[in-house]
Amino acid sequence: MLPNVITQAVVYAMSDIVLNIGVIVTLSYFGLGIVPPTPDWGRMISEGQQFLAGGYYYLTVLPAIAVIITSLGLSFIGDGLAQLLRVKR
Protein backbone atom coordinates (compact mmCIF):
# COMPACT_ATOMS: atom_id res chain seq x y z
CA MET A 1 0.00 0.00 0.00
CA LEU A 2 2.81 2.45 0.82
CA PRO A 3 4.40 2.46 -2.68
CA ASN A 4 1.06 3.51 -4.18
CA VAL A 5 0.74 6.37 -1.70
CA ILE A 6 4.28 7.65 -2.30
CA THR A 7 3.66 8.15 -6.01
CA GLN A 8 0.47 10.12 -5.42
CA ALA A 9 2.10 12.14 -2.64
CA VAL A 10 4.97 13.20 -4.93
CA VAL A 11 2.59 14.30 -7.68
CA TYR A 12 0.40 16.16 -5.18
CA ALA A 13 3.39 17.87 -3.55
CA MET A 14 4.78 19.10 -6.86
CA SER A 15 1.42 20.39 -8.05
CA ASP A 16 0.90 22.07 -4.68
CA ILE A 17 4.29 23.81 -4.96
CA VAL A 18 3.40 25.08 -8.45
CA LEU A 19 0.04 26.33 -7.16
CA ASN A 20 1.72 28.13 -4.26
CA ILE A 21 4.16 29.83 -6.63
CA GLY A 22 1.21 31.07 -8.68
CA VAL A 23 -0.59 32.36 -5.60
CA ILE A 24 2.50 34.18 -4.30
CA VAL A 25 3.20 35.78 -7.69
CA THR A 26 -0.44 36.86 -8.04
CA LEU A 27 -0.64 38.34 -4.55
CA SER A 28 2.60 40.28 -4.94
CA TYR A 29 1.48 41.47 -8.40
CA PHE A 30 -1.51 43.10 -6.69
CA GLY A 31 0.72 44.52 -3.93
CA LEU A 32 -0.25 42.06 -1.22
CA GLY A 33 2.94 40.03 -1.19
CA ILE A 34 6.41 40.29 0.28
CA VAL A 35 7.68 43.60 1.71
CA PRO A 36 9.25 45.82 -1.02
CA PRO A 37 13.01 45.55 -0.35
CA THR A 38 12.79 41.82 -1.05
CA PRO A 39 12.74 40.97 -4.79
CA ASP A 40 9.65 39.13 -5.98
CA TRP A 41 8.50 38.06 -9.44
CA GLY A 42 4.99 39.45 -9.06
CA ARG A 43 6.22 42.89 -8.04
CA MET A 44 8.81 42.83 -10.84
CA ILE A 45 6.05 42.18 -13.37
CA SER A 46 3.84 44.88 -11.83
CA GLU A 47 6.56 47.53 -11.69
CA GLY A 48 7.83 46.69 -15.17
CA GLN A 49 4.48 47.46 -16.79
CA GLN A 50 5.04 51.21 -16.57
CA PHE A 51 8.08 50.86 -18.82
CA LEU A 52 6.36 48.88 -21.60
CA ALA A 53 5.60 51.99 -23.69
CA GLY A 54 9.27 53.01 -23.57
CA GLY A 55 10.40 49.76 -25.18
CA TYR A 56 11.65 48.12 -22.00
CA TYR A 57 9.40 45.09 -22.43
CA TYR A 58 11.99 42.75 -20.91
CA LEU A 59 11.37 44.22 -17.45
CA THR A 60 7.94 42.57 -17.53
CA VAL A 61 8.53 39.64 -19.86
CA LEU A 62 11.61 38.10 -18.22
CA PRO A 63 10.07 37.65 -14.73
CA ALA A 64 6.95 36.21 -16.36
CA ILE A 65 9.08 33.76 -18.35
CA ALA A 66 10.93 32.82 -15.14
CA VAL A 67 7.61 32.00 -13.45
CA ILE A 68 6.49 29.90 -16.43
CA ILE A 69 9.79 28.01 -16.71
CA THR A 70 9.90 27.31 -12.96
CA SER A 71 6.30 26.10 -12.91
CA LEU A 72 6.72 23.88 -15.96
CA GLY A 73 10.02 22.53 -14.65
CA LEU A 74 8.53 21.55 -11.31
CA SER A 75 5.54 19.97 -13.07
CA PHE A 76 7.82 17.93 -15.31
CA ILE A 77 9.93 16.87 -12.32
CA GLY A 78 6.77 15.72 -10.54
CA ASP A 79 5.61 13.75 -13.58
CA GLY A 80 9.04 12.19 -14.00
CA LEU A 81 9.22 11.17 -10.36
CA ALA A 82 5.71 9.73 -10.59
CA GLN A 83 6.73 7.59 -13.57
CA LEU A 84 9.94 6.55 -11.83
CA LEU A 85 8.18 5.56 -8.61
CA ARG A 86 5.23 3.88 -10.32
CA VAL A 87 4.64 0.34 -9.08
CA LYS A 88 5.12 -2.33 -11.73
CA ARG A 89 2.56 -5.13 -11.72
Across the range 62-80, mean pLDDT stands at 93
DSSP state for residue 3 in the 8-state scheme: H
- Give the pLDDT band (50/70/90) at residue 18: very high
- Does residue 14 surpass a pLDDT of 70? yes
- For 57, list phi and psi in degrees, rounded to 5: -65, -30
Q: Residue 51 belongs to what domain range?
A: 2-85
- Give the pLDDT band (50/70/90) at residue 76: very high
Q: Identify the pLDDT of residue 1.
A: 61
Distance of CA 21 to the CA centre of its chain: 4
CB 64 within 8 A of CB 43: no
- Does residue 85 surpass a pLDDT of 90? no
Q: Summarize pLDDT for 28-67 with one digit per residue, the tens.
A: 999 898 888 888 999 999 999 889 888 898 899 999 999 9
Reduced to 3 states (helix: H, G, I; strand: E, B; else coil), residue 70 is helix
Give the Cα separation of 32 and 64 in Å (integer): 18
The number of domains in the chain is 1
